[in-house]
Every structure is written in structure tokens, then in C-alpha cells.
Amino acid sequence: MFLSPFQPFPPFFFMPTFRTWLNVHRRFIAPALLVLFFLILFFARSLFFRSLQFIQKPFVSSGTWISNQYQSTFGACSVNPDDYERLVAERNQYAIERSEIERIKLENTTLIKELGFLKQRQLSAVPAAIISRVVSNQTSTFMVNVGSDNHIVLGSAVIVEDGMFVGKVTRVDKTQSVVTASTDFQLATGVSLLNKTRTIGIAQGAAGNLIELKFIPADEEIHPNDLVITSGLEDNVPSGLIVGVVNTVKPEPEAPFQQAIVEPLSDVRRYNHVVILVPSL
């Protein structure tokens, strides 16, 4: 069959049978060509990346080997076991020294307040360190490192800071003593309120690290926030030591007395040192 150069397509393109087939299947030809194009593109891309990985692999292996050699050579020098142990020891020593400095600063601040109070009131006192404690729901006692050799006597008042009353000495040995806190159920202390009539009562430990004020005459006026101090009616407990502040008043209409709950202004559990008031030396 002769194909003229002026004919862009072979003669069979113009045959009736082929034109009919083309008209029938024309809507499927374009999608088929598009799918074929994407398949060719996908396989070409996959082949390209496999070739790239093959080229990169030697360089990656070389880089990893160099990195490992650097770490083993120079990293070992930066974490020398002896240097590490020395640095840890220095850090621990620094922490201990810092803790000791902070403790001494706190103790000095407390002692300055206590000495100022004692000088103002002209009281004799012995400083003491708390060496052990016994604390439960109803009990609060602690042992201090001074005793009869230091002029400590039974019933001596124990204070912190600016004359905050925290308890009394209830047992004395030669070099040690036991102090019962004001919040202990077994300790009773004579107190008075700083109200108009200077009401007198008995303060005794209560639940929740509080103090219960008992035997207050029913006709006395007491109010929340009234200040409670020692009355001075006991031996070895001078008047005016701050016990706490009235939190709640519990009147009993049919009873001759009323009661109140007092919140201590100082929690002896937060202190490591106290001051024990003693007879004049």
C-alpha cells in the first residue's frame, strides 16, 4: 500500500471499520493512556531512588564509622571515671555545706529573736537542741539535750522566737529533759485572754494540733481572734508568753462554763532548737 507523504495517518485510519471502533471506544482511550503514563512514571521513580540509595550507602557507612571512632576516642576522654567520681563528690559536698549554711542562718535568726525577748523581759534561760520526738494524734513530746546539770527544773516553760510558748518540761535527767508540747492532751497550762476583763482559764491540748480553752465563766465575753497568753499563776511559767489566738467559741447555755478552741501561733514541730526558761541564775 502506497503511503503519501501528505497523508499524516495510514489509510486504515480512514477505513469505516476502524473509525467505527474508534468512535465506540473513544471514551476509554484517554483514561487508559493516563494510567499507562503514571505506571511508567512510578517505575522510573522507583528505579531512580534505588540507584540513589546504592550510591549513598558507601558514604553513609563511612560517616557512621568516623562518628563511632570519634566518640570512642574523644568521648572517653570527656567522661573519665576518676573525674566523674571527683565531680560527684564535690557536688555532694557542696550540697551538704549549703544545707548547713542555711540551717545556721535560720538558727541565728531564731536565736536573735529569742535573745531579744529574754533581754527585754530580764529572764534567765538555757538554749536546747531537740534530739528526738514522739508525735501522735494525742501525744506531742520531744527530748532536749540539757538537764538538771544545766539548771533545768520540772515545769519550766519552753519557748521559741519572740516568747512563743510551746510547752513545759515534764521530766528532767542530769543531761537530758523531756518537754511536753502545749498541744498534747496531757498538758494543762494556766492562761488568760487579752480581752477587757483578762479572762482566766485552763489551756489543754486538743485534736488537730490545737488547744482547748476550758473553765471559762459563762458570763465572760470572749471572741474569735482574742489573744491567749500565759497567766503567770504557775511556778516557772512567767506571765505574758504567747500561747495562741482564739479560733472558735463554744458557748454552753446550761453550763456554768464555756469553751473555746485556740490555734497556736508556733508549731514546735518546725523547730530544731528551743529555749527553756529557768530560775534566776
pLDDT of residue 211: 96
Of the pLDDT bands very low, low, confident and very high (cuts 50, 70, 90), residue 146 is: very high
* Structural domain for 148, as ranges: 124-278
pTM to 2 decimal places: 0.59
Instruction: Give every CB contact of residue 31 below 8 A, 6+ residues apart in sequence.
Output: none
Same domain (yes/no): 150, 263:
yes
Same domain (yes/no): 145, 221:
yes
Q: Specify the residue for cell string 499524516.
A: 8
Of the pLDDT bands very low, low, confident and very high (cuts 50, 70, 90), residue 138 is: confident
Set of cell numbers at residue 229: 497568753
Burial 23-58 (b: 16+ CB within 10 A, else e): eeeeeeeeeeeeeeeeeeeeeeeeeeeeeeeeeeee
Q: What pairing do the DSSP bridges indicate for beta strands 210-217 and 164-172?
A: unpaired
Instruction: Compute the average pLDDT of residues 23-34.
Output: 62
Is 90 exceeded by the pLDDT of residue 37? no
Set of cell numbers at residue 126: 538555757
Same domain (yes/no): 56, 161:
no
Instruction: Compute the average pLDDT of residues 189-194.
Output: 92
Q: Cα torsion for 260, 261, 264, 269, to the nearest 10°?
A: 140
Of the pLDDT bands very low, low, confident and very high (cuts 50, 70, 90), residue 130 is: very high
Of the pLDDT bands very low, low, confident and very high (cuts 50, 70, 90), residue 153 is: very high
**What is the number of domains present in the chain?**
2
In a domain, 119, yes or no: no
Instruction: Compute the average pLDDT of residues 211-218.
Output: 91
Same domain (yes/no): 65, 129:
no
Is 70 exceeded by the pLDDT of residue 78? no
pLDDT of residue 267: 86
In a domain, 118, yes or no: no
Instruction: Compute the average pLDDT of residues 176-187.
Output: 96
Enclosing H/E stretch for 171:
strand 164-172
Q: Cα torsion for 232, 238, 241, 245, to the nearest 10°?
A: -20
Of the pLDDT bands very low, low, confident and very high (cuts 50, 70, 90), residue 265 is: confident
24-38, 54-68, 116-130: which range is least confident on average? 54-68
In a domain, 83, yes or no: no
First to last CA, the chain: 143
Same domain (yes/no): 65, 171:
no
Q: Domain boundary residue among 52, 78, 104?
A: 78
pLDDT of residue 15: 52
Of the pLDDT bands very low, low, confident and very high (cuts 50, 70, 90), residue 129 is: very high
pLDDT of residue 71: 53
In a domain, 104, yes or no: no
In a domain, 47, yes or no: yes
Contact yes or no for 232/163 (Cβ under 8 A): no
